[in-house]
Amino acid sequence: MTYRVLAAMTAAVLSLSACSDQGGEASAPVDENAVRVGVLQSLTGTMAISEITVKNAEILAIDEINAAGGVLGKNVEAVVEDGASEPSLFAQKASKLIEDSGVVTVFGGWTSASRKAMLPVFERTGNLLWYPVQFEGNECSPNIMYSGAQPNQQILPALDWAEAKGYKSYFLIGSDYVFPRTANLILKKHIEDRGLATAGEAYVPLGGTDFSGVLAKVQSAGPDIIFNTLNGDSNVAFFKQRKAAGMDAPVMSFSIGEQEAQAMGVELVEGSYATWNYFQSLASDANKAFVSAYQSKFGQDAAITDPMVHGYLNVYAWKAAVEAANSFDPSAVRAAAVSLGTIDTPMGPVSFAPNQSLVQTAYVGRLDGDGQFDIIADSGGDIAPEPYDPLAFPGRTCTPG
Amino acid sequence: MFKALLFPGIILLLAAFAAVFLSSYDLNLLARFLSFGLLAMGVVVIWGHCGILSLGQGVFFGLGGYVMAMHMKLASLPDGQIPDFMMWSGRETLPWWWAPFESGAVAILALVALPAIVAALFAFAVFYRRVGGVYFALITQALALAFATLLISRQDSTGGFNGLTNFSTLLGLNLNGPGMAEGLYWVTLVVVALAWLGLGALLKSRFGILLRATRDGENRVRFLGYNPVPLKVAAYAIAAALAGLSGALFTIHAGNISPAMVGVVPSIEMVIWVAVGGRFSLSGALAGALIINFARDRISSAVPELWLYLVGALFILVVTLLPRGLAGLVPQQKASS
Amino acid sequence: MDSALFLNQVFNGFSVASLYLLAALGLSLSFGLMRVINMAHGEMLMLGGYLAFLTLSIIPGFVGLLLAIVVAFIGAALVGSVIQSALIRRLTSRPLDTLLATWGVSLILQQAARDIFGPIGVEVQAPAWLNASIQIRDGALAGLTIPSARLFILLVMALVLGGLALLLTKTRIGLMVRASNQDRMMAAATGIDVKRVDLAVFCLGSGIAGLAGVVLALLGPVTPSVGQSYIVPAFLVVVMGGLGSILGTTLSALILGLIAALSQIFVDVSIAQVLLLVFVIFFIQVRPQGVIAPTSRALDF
């Protein structure tokens, strides 16, 4: 009996391998005049809602580039893969893109877990990943371009703003994963260093919706302001239960953008604060052109967020670097990318620093009744990226590859 | 006699064929899914032959995977340094329970022994008080949830939600070196083959008969003078040891292990492989693990939304209409199992 | 320790317990009767939540909320009846297979919700007074904050329990349920249609879960996976409660709710979850038959 099962299994594996061989051949670039790039985001699972918008922005940029004649005379062909919100699948799909589909670079990733899982794949194959989301720093791989904010480009500008407003006592609430814990570690060091007080710190499992205990702790600590690194649906529960408990300490959030605010019901979060490097309400012409291009393709009501713009600018930065290097070779592209000078983007002119992170400005916004942010403060110019916070992690630096 | 030789021959041919003809990506997938097969065969022992449904196999998979990952992480570091995530989580020294895994021998021993011991203690606590059946399934599910939650919340010593990743060496060998992928594939294949042979013998032995007797009438076994508790505990520990081995091999092939692989949902997916392949058949379970996971890789690339509907429907159909799984479709020669 | 924090956590313990209980009652009822666990029970909560969202977006305010409770109860009970008659009935005497088959149902329902309502949560617009709170400023209970939504949930829970107790002890159908619960074969022999009793109890249990979904929607977003976050604690409540006993289920929900809330004074929510499981494992060492054990001379139960 077992023997026949094995025979069936043989057939199954053979047919699968056969179909992958066909896939492999079909997927080799047929068009001599095309170059393949990977787009790897979660199209399913819990992260899909956020990552699909980034995928859209990346595809938009690729389409625009092709319409304008491609890169080095070649058409850019996007190979889209689904990371399914699972880190190990991100690693699996990254090696599929590089080794099977033969892409010259990959745009994608959102969670730190997905980036960490992909990192060894990129280092092993020598390929280059363009990562679009703010993160906790403490990493500089030669094979990753980090355009999202480092901690000193998002959370510390928020602390500067709060300190200037006279807030003395801070309560830190986050989802239980790496970004909130590391961000709060850095925040606590800076809060202490400035003679301010950390009133408390609490974490809720990802997707958790019961805040009764956390709110009781906040109430008993009585902070001036809450710094919120909660993710996703937990935010709705938190803001709802906070309102019901009649709590009036203001909230500064690091993971609520336009899309999240509009999806969760604006009246719940109206008046709360957020810090990002981009808001849809930025008044520049470049931003207006981008917003209208995106909305005419993906819906007039589509919200535009910081990670989407970083995804979009990553594609253009890659194009500029390829043209400067006159090559698609990842190491040549990397070398060119950090010496490009400024490139124009919807968030204004930005450039990559030698540590492969983006030099950018931080803005503090206050959420209005339409789900848009009124920009009430900015960092007063570009901030150079610091992957390792000097106060929290003294002596650590990036040694760019 | 001829048949006895034919069978391993087919496997070897097939395996060699796969190693030569599959792309490196697919070969890596095959190796990963073969590792899953180890766990699936363990589920056959406890579920098919002993009637214990465990919805917490991810815990033991995770224990093996994390032990392996801790060893590779330590081996990849210069002396005296701690893994980077500990540093940015505010920890300055290595947790005491990491230290032993610096030794490869300890790690290899522990990746089998640790899951087995944990499983034995847990199973003893539950079975000793004669709690079983549905209760056991529900408690193991809670165990999977608790384990994943614990891993995530102790970020400074477990890597938290990100898990452990970025390994470069294994027992002194460069993981990215030439031929390493093929070599690891063959190692996995040999381990799977040995486990298949060993478990087959085990299930034919007196122990196997007693397991099935316990499944079909636990009290009767008791009245016959046997104590079913140690039997069930032993079976559960064996399945856990296999899950640990499976997790360790998976971690080597995948290059990472994270709480996403050990929680409630992955744990129940592990049961799906076996339900589809056949809960009474070792080969069926192995085939189930391979087929489901290859199908997932292909389908979720093509039509991601479809996958969950398919898995859900497959679960319902197999359980209601085909309780013996795919292996049940194969005409039986004799009523073993 | 801060006494206000302690007071608030005691109250929160009751509040969490009432959610656990509403989620677990249906499971416990049908487990007592049929020995099966419906893994798609959490999705009945989800269904109730989405039905509340739809109802309240058509008819807002308190009337809408009352209507939502009725709609959610009936909607979840109907879906429950389909699951019971199409699947669970066919798998009698295979409780573990029932568990797996209903998990398949759960996956499909979650993905369907994702496709219909989107993967991100929807927010139910509750009447404004439910978003207020009562704050006690002096006296022995100074510092206690009672959100009215949580008070409302306690009230709903009390009504459900009271109603259930009346139904089981004072009505004919209740008599039949209790009879089937005690001895299925004897009940059938006296002419009770046990299969219809099964169906009725399963519908009732699903309906209560739908209702639990409505009150959950008052506290947080309704998401495709909303049921999953309450279902594991609900399972633990069932395991600890004792076979099919309403009183046992209530007590064990209360114990687990208080443990979850009070342990949060000292540890994170994550660790509190782990402590819950550890407690249950220790508890079954002491009382494997549950808080309230059925008196039976049967060897296998």
Residue A238 C-alpha, separation from nearest chain C C-alpha, in angstroms: 8
pLDDT at position C294? 66
pLDDT at position C84? 93
Establish if B115 belongs to a structural domain: yes
Establish if B333 belongs to a structural domain: no
pLDDT at position A150? 95
User: Sorting pLDDT into bands at 50, 70 and 90, what band is B285?
Assistant: very high
pLDDT at position A4? 53
Residue of A nearest to C220 (CA): A237
User: In terms of Cα–Cα distance, which of A6, A15, A12, A14 is closest to B330?
Assistant: A6
Task: Tally the C-alpha atoms within 13 A of residue A210's C-alpha that lie toward its C-beta.
Answer: 28
Interface membership of A220 toward B (CB under 8 Å) = no
Interface membership of B314 toward C (CB under 8 Å) = yes
Establish if B11 belongs to a structural domain: no
pLDDT at position B335? 43
Q: pLDDT above 90 covers what percent of chain B?
A: 54
Q: pLDDT above 70 covers what percent of chain B?
A: 95
A225-229 and A144-146: which strand pairing? unpaired
pLDDT at position A16? 47
Q: Domain residues for B79?
A: 35-261
Establish if B70 belongs to a structural domain: yes
CB contact under 8 A, B315 and C274: no
- The domains located in chain A, with CATH, are 31-149+282-360 (3.40.50.2300), 152-276 (3.40.50.2300)
Establish if B48 belongs to a structural domain: yes
pLDDT at position C297? 61
In chain B, what residues touch C280 (CB-CB under 8 Å)?
139, 142
The residue extents of the domains of chain C are 18-226
Query: What mean pLDDT do residues B232-256 have?
Result: 95
Q: What is the pLDDT along chain C (301 residues), one digit of tens a residue?
A: 578 889 889 999 999 999 999 999 999 998 888 888 899 999 999 999 999 999 999 998 889 999 999 999 999 999 999 999 999 988 877 888 898 999 999 999 999 998 898 877 788 888 888 878 888 877 777 778 888 889 999 999 999 999 999 999 999 989 998 888 888 888 889 988 989 999 999 999 999 999 999 999 998 889 888 888 889 899 999 989 887 788 999 999 999 999 999 999 888 888 898 999 889 988 888 888 888 776 666 555 4
Read off the pTM: 0.89
Residue of B nearest to A176 (CA): B153
Interface membership of C280 toward B (CB under 8 Å) = yes
Establish if B319 belongs to a structural domain: no
In chain B, what residues touch A123 (CB-CB under 8 Å)?
166
CB pairs below 8 Å between B and C: how many? 116
pLDDT at position B80? 77
| Alpha-carbon distances, residue C218 vs A214, C156, C215 (angstroms) | 18, 12, 5
Q: Which of A181, A211, A236 to mutate to test the interface with C (most CBs of C within 10 A)?
A: A236
The residue type at C70: V
Give the ipTM of the model, two decimals please.
Answer: 0.89
For chain B, the domain total comes to: 1
Exposure of A322 by Cβ count < 10 A (0-12 exposed, 13-18 middle, 19+ buried)? buried
Establish if B111 belongs to a structural domain: yes
pLDDT at position C136? 82
Interface membership of A8 toward B (CB under 8 Å) = yes
Establish if B21 belongs to a structural domain: no
pLDDT in tens, A131-179: 999 999 999 899 999 999 999 999 999 999 999 999 999 999 999 888 9
Interface membership of C299 toward B (CB under 8 Å) = yes
pLDDT at position C300? 55
pLDDT at B305 exceeding the cut of 80 = no
| Alpha-carbon distances, residue B314 vs A48, B322, C225 (angstroms) | 24, 10, 20
Residue B262 C-alpha, separation from nearest chain C C-alpha, in angstroms: 15
pLDDT at position B8? 62
Q: Which residues of chain A have pLDDT under 50?
A: 1-2, 13-29, 400-401
pLDDT at position A48? 80
